[in-house]
Amino acid sequence: MNHQLLVAILILSPLIGFLLNGVRFKHTNYIAAGAIATTAVFLSFVCSVLLFMDLVNAPENQRTIAVGFYEWFSVDKFTINVGFVVDQISSIMILIITGVGSLIHLFSIGYMHHDKGVTKYFAYLNLFVFNMLLLVLGDSLLTMFVGWEGVGLCSYLLIGFWFNDAAKAAAGMKAFITNRVGDAAFIIGMFILFATFGTLNIHELNALAPTTMEASWLGAVTLGTLMLFIGATGKSAQIPLYVWLPDAMAGPTPVSALIHAATMVTAGVYMIVRLNPLFVVAPNTMMVIAVIGAATAVMAATIGLTQYDIKKVLAYSTVSQLGYMFLAVGVGAFGAGMFHLMTHAFFKALMFLGSGSVIHGMHEEQDIRKMGGLKKYMPITHITFLLGWLAIIGMPPFSGFFSKDEILWQAYSSPRGHVLLWVAGAIGAGLTAFYMTRLMALTFWGTSRVDKHVHPHESGSLMTIPLIVLAILSVIGGWVGIPHVISESFGHIPNYWEHWLSPLMTKLPELAENAHGGHSAAEEWALMGISVSIASISALTAFVMYLKKGDAPKKFVEAIGPVYKAVYNKYFVDEFYFASIINPLVTGSRNLWYYVDVNVIDKATYKATDLVRGGGSFVRSLQNGNMQQYALYIIAGVAITLSLVLMR
C-alpha cells in the first residue's frame, strides 16, 4: 500500500474524529461519540501496524519510510517541509500511541457515559492523539514542536475538563503554565542548534553531529541539548518542573492513562532518543540528565509512600518511572530508556484504567483508606491490577523486570554510569515495591472499610476488555528484550528489541569494542538478584505492615513525625515555588501596574489629554462666528505686522 497514503490516514484519522465530534460537541450520545473517536484511533493503529510490518520486511539498512506533503515555508536557503518519518524509533511510538490509545478510548465509553460533555471529551482525546502523532513523526524539530505545543494545549483542555470546579481548572492552568517554562527553553535550544548547524531537520542534525566530545559547558551542542532537556523536564515531569503532573489527576481518569502512559509524558524521552547522536557528544548534558533522572526517581517514589488518593499514588509513580527512563538515556542506554517507555505504557495504562474501574465501582471514591477487600467485588479489576503491580515492581518474568533491570545494569556498567546512580535506582525500585504493595493492600486486600452506603461492583465489558488486553501486554511485553545474560542460560533467546533499535542508537565512544565496559556476567546476575531481592523484601514488608500489623504504619509515622510531615506535604516544593517565584512575580506585577502603569503612564496620558483638550477649547472659542470679532483679529494682525516691519 502507498506509504504516503498510510501516513496521511494515520495522522489525519484522529483529526477527522476531532472535527466530527467537535461540531456536535453538545450532543450527549456517548455511544456515537465514543464510536467515532475509538474508530478514528483504531484506524490509525491499523495503519501503524501496516507500516511497522513494511519496516520489518525491509532490509535492515532500508528501514526508513520518509514522506513529504508540501513546503511549509522558505526563508532564503532555509526551507521547512511538512514531512514525516517512520523508522525503528517512531514506529514503536506510533504503535504505543495508537494501540494503547485505542484501548483508553474504548474504556472511556464506559467510564464517561454519564457525563454531559462526553462528545467534547472524545473530541479533545482525538486531538491529543493527533498532536502526539505529529510530535513523534515530524522530520524536523519545528514539526515536532507543533505537536509538542499541541499536546500541551490538549493537556490543559483535558486536565481542566471539569472547569466548573475551580481546583480542577487551576490544575489545568498549572500544567499549561509549567510546560510553557520548559517550552521556552526548547525554543532556545532550537535556535542554538539552528545557528550552529543551519538546519532543524532531525536527520540532518544527527548526520552533522560532531565526532569529538564537547568538554566545555558553553559549547554550542552542550548548551543546545541542555535547553532541549529543560524542555523535556516540563513535558516529562522531571525536577524541577514535575509539579504539574500529580495535579493532572484533576481530569477524567482515562485522561490520566493517556497522558501518563501512552503520550505526553514520554515526549521528552523520545526527543532525546531521537537526537541521541547529538546528546552523545555532550557528556555534560548527559551527566545532568542522569543525575536529574535518578533524583526524580527517588524523590517521587518517597512522596508516593504517603499518598492516599489512588490516582495520586500512580501519578507520583509515573514521575518516578520517568526518572528511570531519563537515568537510562543519561548514561547512554537509549535503547533501555525506550524499552522502559514501552513496558511502562502497558502496565501504567493498565493501572490507571484499573484505578478508574475502582473509582467507577466505588461511586467516585478515590481515598484508599475507604476501600479494602475490593477483590471480592471486582475480580477482573483485581487480577489485572495485580498483574500490573507485579510488572511495575519488577518481578520476573513480567515486563517491568526486563526493562528496569536493564536500566539498573546500564546505570552501573556504562562508562557514563556510576555506582551511586545504581544505588539511587535500586532505592527507587525498593520504594516502588513498597508503595505499590501498600496500594494493593489498602485497595483490594484485607478487611473492607467501604462505607455501608457504597456498594462496590465490577465494571462493564467496555472497561474490563482494555484491562485484560493491557494485563496480557504487562506480562509478555518485556519478552522482546530479554538480556543476553539470561538468554545465554535459556537457549540463546534473541533480543529482538536491541536488534531492532541498534542501527539508530549511537554507542558511547568510551565503550570502544567492549559492549559492557569490561563488566562480567556474574556482576550482572548479582545486581539482578540484589534488585529483585530488594523489591521482594520491600513488597513483603509493606504486605506485613498493612495487612498483618494494622498499627505498624501509625507507629512508624509517629516515630519519624517531622520527616513524614515533609514527605506527606511533598517537601513543600509547591509552597516554595509560590513563596519564591509565583507570589513575588504576582506582587511585583501588581506594583509595576500601580506605580508605573497607573501613576506614570496613565497620569501622563491624562495630562496630555487635558492639555490637548484645553488647547482645543481655546481654539474653538476663537471660532465663534462673530464677524466683528474676526475683523478685530484681522486689524490686530495687520497692526502687529506693520509694527514689526517698521521696527526693522
- Tell me what pLDDT residue 28 has: 87
Strand ranges (E), 396-522: none
Short-list 286, 517, 531, CA closest to 410:
517
Amino acid at 232: A
Strand ranges (E), 396-451: none
CA 371 to chain CA centroid, Å, is: 29
CA 515, CA 414: separation in Å to the nearest integer?
9
Going from the C-alpha of 336 to that of each of 269, 327, 342, 349, 388, the distances in angstroms are 11, 10, 10, 19, 20
Ramachandran area for residue 491 (φ above 0: left; ψ -120 to 50: alpha; else beta)? left
Neighbours of 483 (CB within 10 A): 19
Task: List for the chain the helix, strand, coil content (%; round to 5).
Answer: 75, 5, 20
Short-list 308, 395, 404, 299, CA closest to 355:
308
CA 102, CA 94: separation in Å to the nearest integer?
12
- Tell me what pLDDT residue 452 has: 87
Residue reference for cell 450527549: 28
Amino acid at 271: M
Q: Which residues contact 171 (CB under 8 A, 6 or more apart)?
A: 159, 160, 244, 247, 248, 249, 250, 251
- Tell me what pLDDT residue 518 has: 66
Q: Give me the average pLDDT of each 10-residue run along the chain (648 residues).
A: 91 96 90 96 97 94 91 83 94 96 95 92 96 95 95 94 92 93 95 94 94 91 97 94 90 89 87 96 96 97 94 94 96 95 95 94 91 94 97 95 95 94 96 96 92 91 95 95 85 88 89 62 92 96 88 84 91 92 91 90 90 86 77 86 83
Containing 72, the helix (H) or strand (E) segment is strand 65-75
CA 307, CA 436: separation in Å to the nearest integer?
11
- Tell me what pLDDT residue 75 has: 83
pTM of model > 0.85: yes
Short-list 167, 159, 100, CA closest to 124:
159
The phi, psi pair for 397, rounded to 5°, reads -100, 30
**For residue 382, how many C-alpha atoms fall within 13 Å in the half-sphere facing its CB?**
18
CA 559, CA 561: separation in Å to the nearest integer?
6
Residue-level length of the chain: 648
CA 454, CA 441: separation in Å to the nearest integer?
19
Q: What is the DSSP string of 302-316?
A: HHHTT--BHHHHHHH
Neighbours of 489 (CB within 10 A): 11
3-state DSSP assignment of residue 65: strand
CB 144, CB 135: distance < 8 Å: yes
CB 33, CB 119: distance < 8 Å: yes
525-565 pLDDT, tens digit each: 999 999 999 999 999 999 999 998 777 888 888 888 899 99
- Tell me what pLDDT residue 514 has: 55
**For residue 115, how many C-alpha atoms fall within 13 Å in the half-sphere facing its CB?**
21
Going from the C-alpha of 20 to that of each of 33, 106, 109, 113, the distances in angstroms are 9, 17, 16, 18
